[in-house]
Structure 1
Amino acid sequence: MKSKKVIALILTELMTFSLLAGCGGKAADTSRQGSAGATKDLTKLKGEIEMWSTFTDAENKVLKEKILPAFNKVYPDIKVKITPMPSGDDYKKQILQGAMSGTTPDLARTDIVDVAQYASQDYLEPVDNMPDFDDLKKEVYEGPMSTNYYNGHYYGIPIDTNTKIAIYNKAILNKGGFKEAPKTMDEFEQYAAKAKEDNVAGIGIAGTESWAISPYFLSLGGKFTDDKNTKASGYLNSDSSIKALEKIVEWKNNGYTAKSILGGEGTWEGFNAGHYGMIDEGPWWYPANKNQKKVKDNVIFAQIPKGDGGSVSVVGGEDTVIFKNSKSKEQAYAFAKFLASDDAQTIFTTDLGMMPVNTKTAKKSVVTNNAILKIYMDQLNSTWARTPNPKWADISNVIKEDFELAIRNKKSAKDALDDAAKKVDSLLSSK
């Protein structure tokens, strides 16, 4: 997938593009402070805290010049030091090394898929025992919040989020007799069949990894695990999951899917060249396009079509976590909580075009008056968090490999999912 770390300044162009939709663990009890139902006046807290931030320069500027002053109006005696950090694998290594040596800051922004690993190693402080957590949880979108849940506790708070929606070539869609984007998977398949008549791949799936294939697999009725993320057997290889994967294999065999599903021409390249009639992408896609007028005139944005599983997409983004070795956990929590608040999220959305994690922000005109952003926010109501588990990278590889074997017709969908379920079960139960 294309990196979600696209420069924040181009993300602001999304805010002006408001007419397109018509075209379209182990935490020790002794360290816990308060309880989820407790009420405490955090605004009276004093102290200094440090946060590691992987935001871009433009994003850090907003964080320091607008978010921090707003925070200090409410929490005048908490001083926050923002330390810019590089993103990616090097950053993860720094966190792990720092946690082992006791040199991590009080809190940090981290990729959603890494929270469970840090929590499983007892590096993070659970936040669901902190004051007013339950109230905060009610305000934040369920998909982003669920990325912090591991082994019965929440170990972080969302700070930013994203998801993917369907993006169609308007001319190809119209030529097939569709005046608007397909709303159901049946209509979606009919559209893809029409596109094939013009030698166009109607369904641009980027690959077999979970980020790419999950919107289709889940919307068609598939599941990866149970709701508690403890078991794959009976879910990943259920009748509904087998049926979902069989449908994707059928699409590929019928010539409906793009070559990108098996490593061919990329979705961005194929879509821009007119080879693919539809792709799915995040909110960074439009502002990253060089020829934006062409995009404006020729695309339709829509939610993922509904199937037996509904309209489901995948959630991405980052969370704010508090380290166990922090000596100012409540102060750190106050800042992490504020970052997810309506006040902070409104600034992030207004100044940077970010998708808000707070449902109150999503109801404001800065979102509702921006038609394309609103589609992303509507999709965020139905998203899947890639299984929060310290073994996620291995689980992801299993999904990618066994799904690919089925799509290449080297295994039946049933055999592929039976094999995958056994392997994922083993990973979920391992320590």
Structure 2
Amino acid sequence: MTMRRSSALAAALGLPLLLAACGTGGSGAQSSTEELPAGQKVEGEITFWHAYSEGGPEVTTLEEEVIPAFEKAHPGTEVKPVTVQYDQLHQKLVTAAAGESLPDVVRSDIIWVPELADLGVLVPLDQAMPDFEKLAEQTYDGPLATNKWQDSYYGLPLTTNTKVMLYNEQALDEAGVGVPETFDDLRASAPKVAETGNYLLAEADAAGWQVLPYIWSNGGDITDEDITTSDGYLNGPKSVEAVELLVDLYEQQALPKLILGGGGGTNTFEGLANGMYATIVDGPWAFPIIEGQFKDFEMKTAPMPHGDGESTSVVGGENLVITQASENKQLAAEFTRYMLSEEAQLAMAEAGQISVLESLSDKMVEIEPSYEEYMNQLQTARPRPPTPAWTKIDEIIRKQVQLAVRGDMTAQEAMDEAVAQIDPLLERG
């Protein structure tokens, strides 16, 4: 465990255990905390909401292997999985929270945890589970950090991912350039690839998921460490330089219009496979999709290019949270523990989910060799700022970066305006 994570956990875990006490979420909602010990016999049923793809290998593995194994090890229990489409799950959770009709356990996108915690509808697991620290120590720093809101951890990592550079070697060779390792390489290679009629790099959007790796890899940041202000960070020199890189690549016709959103154009996977895009930056799910559609294309991987900082990508994935509405929190906690076991993590890894357990890093590569670069990148990957306002902040970043790319503002002006809109949101958080 790193010094930073040890300190953060110590601060959170140093709080007294609250037994049947009450706390207040950021919205003023009341939340109780009860002790959820491990290993005691528990019976009953719980409901588990998730957004695994309907009919996909994840759902099959979950419903035919993982849940039956848990129920067999815990006689008298039943876990009822409910599949909700990802683009509907966030709204369903917020709506259910208002009506107090939440399930027992949720596989939540990592960016939703602070928002749900702020609503007061999640159990603070570091206070409720005596073995929380032991479980947390087994996971990667980045995924774990996405569960913290204010002074508590409201979930545990379930699956993780990050993004690396994916490249078409033939397209790079045609332009006479190598795999870009630095921002200087990107700038130098851009006109050479453009001369071949192709694009050096394609990004499908300009939101935080796309832009943050460039900012971090240049030594910039979005907010201060306490997530109280973005002034001097998002509009600081290193962050602005990263946005200017994207602006320059676009002006050099090395970056397609996909970054401006609105649909249209060749998607990143197709463009990479046919050589139109020499490189893209994307996650491990790209492999089964591209291999299935473009069987003659051999995709290769490289770390995220960097500027003045080290190569740093963004953490994606999902967390497990337990709701205050659960009438069987002890069983919900036992199910959460099981989902973090090597048995369950390996089963889901076989279905395409990268494990959050550091001890299984080598196993991930054995299961899927294409994971190797992702496992390396996870060592430095960072989470998006954990704040209830992130979805609004994300849209502001997207809009302002796109204004800069279109040339409607300079990168500095765009980031200054972003800060002016973001800081009031952070003050309310």
Q: Same fold (TM over 0.5)?
A: yes
Query: For 2:236 and 2:87, how far apart are their aligned partners in 1?
Result: 35
Residues 106 and 369 (structure 1 numbering): CA distance in 2 closer, same or farther, change over 3 Å?
closer
Q: Which has the higher mean CA deviation after the structures are superposed, 119-128 or 355-364?
A: 355-364
Cα distance in structure 2, aligned partners of 1:95 and 1:29: 17
Could you tell me how far 1:54 is from its partner in structure 2?
2.6
Cα distance in structure 1, aligned partners of 2:403 and 2:257: 15
In structure 1, what is the Cα distance between the partners aligned to 2:67 and 2:271?
42
- Equivalent pairs counted in the alignment come to 396
Amino acid of the residue matched to residue 140 of structure 1?
T
Counterparts of residues 393-404 of structure 1 (less than 5 Å): 393-404=391-402
- The alpha-carbon distance between structure 1 residues 184 and 333, as it changes in their structure 2 partners (threshold 3 A), is same
| Gaps in structure 2 of 5+ consecutive residues | 1-22
Distance 1:356 1:422, change over 3 A: same
One-letter code of the match for 2:281?
Answer: D
The answer as to 2:329 corresponding to 1:333 is no
108-117 or 62-71: bigger deviation: 62-71
- Structure-2 separation of matches of 1:96 and 1:159: 21
Q: Distance in 1 between matches of 2:326 and 2:85?
A: 22
Aligned to 2:316: 316
CA deviations 1:42-87 (Å, max 9, x no partner) are 11231223222332343233123322344356x5356132232322
8 Å contact from structure 1 (residues 53, 109) kept in 2: yes
Provide closer, same or farther for how the CA distance between residues 319 and 254 of structure 1 changes in structure 2, counting only shifts above 3 A: same
> How far apart are residue 369 of structure 1 and its match?
6.4
CA distance in 1, matches of 2:375, 2:132: 23
Q: How far off is 1:127 after superposition?
A: 0.9
Amino acid at match of 2:337: K
Q: Secondary structure at the match of 1:229?
A: coil
Contact 1:206 1:260 in 2 (8 A): yes
1:50 aligns to 2:52 (yes or no)? no
Give the match for residue 408 of structure 2: 410
Q: CA RMSD in A?
A: 2.4
Equivalence map 1:76-91=2 (5 Å): 76-77=74-75, 79-91=77-89
Distance 1:156 1:199, change over 3 A: same
CA–CA distance in structure 1, aligned partners of residues 96 and 248 of structure 2: 48
How do 1:87-98 residues align onto structure 2 when only pairs under 5 Å count? 87-98=85-96
Q: CA deviation at 1:125?
A: 0.7
The reply on whether 1:31 has 2:35 as its aligned counterpart is: no
Letter matched to residue 327 of structure 1: E
Change over 3 Å in CA distance of 1:371–1:174 after alignment to 2: farther
Instruction: Compute the displacement of 1:124 (Å).
Output: 0.7
SS of match in other structure, 1:43 = coil
Given candidates 97, 100, 110, the residue that maps to 1:99 is 97
Change (3 A) 1:193 1:284: same
Q: Is the 8 A contact 1:26 1:119 kept in 2?
A: no
**Counterpart secondary structure, 1:90:** helix
Distance 1:250 1:96, change over 3 A: closer
> What letter matches 1:147 in structure 2?
T
Q: Give the secondary structure class of the aligned counterpart of 1:390.
A: coil
Matched position secondary structure for 2:400: helix
Aligned residue for 1:13? none
Cα distance, 1:325–1:291 mapped onto 2, change above 3 Å: closer
Contact 1:249 1:406 in 2 (8 A): yes
Q: Displacement, 1:328? A: 2.4
Deviating runs (4+, > 6 A) in structure 1?
A: none
2:135 paired with 1:133: no
Contact 1:235 1:241 in 2 (8 A): yes
Structure 1 contact 305–311 (Cα < 8 Å) conserved: yes
SS in 2 for 1:320: strand
Q: Which moved more, 1:76-85 or 1:147-156?
A: 76-85
Alignment check: 8 A CA contact 2:349 2:367 kept: no
Cα distance between partner residues in 1 of 2:404 and 2:218: 16
In structure 1, the partner of 2:362 is 363
Q: Is the 8 A contact 1:157 1:337 kept in 2?
A: no
Mapped contact 2:49–2:84 kept (Cα < 8 A): no
| Contact 2:177/2:192, CA 8 A, preserved across alignment | no
Query: Match of 1:374?
Result: 372
The TM-score normalised by the length of structure 2 is: 0.85
Aligned to 1:242: 240
Shift of residue 322, structure 1, vs aligned partner: 0.5
Structure 2 equivalent of residue 171 of structure 1: 170
* Percent identity for Structure 1 against Structure 2: 33
Q: TM-score, normalised by structure 1?
A: 0.84
- The counterpart of 2:216, out of the listed 215, 218, 221, is 218
Q: 1:295 pairs with 294, 297, 304, which one?
A: 297
CA distance in 1, matches of 2:378, 2:239: 22
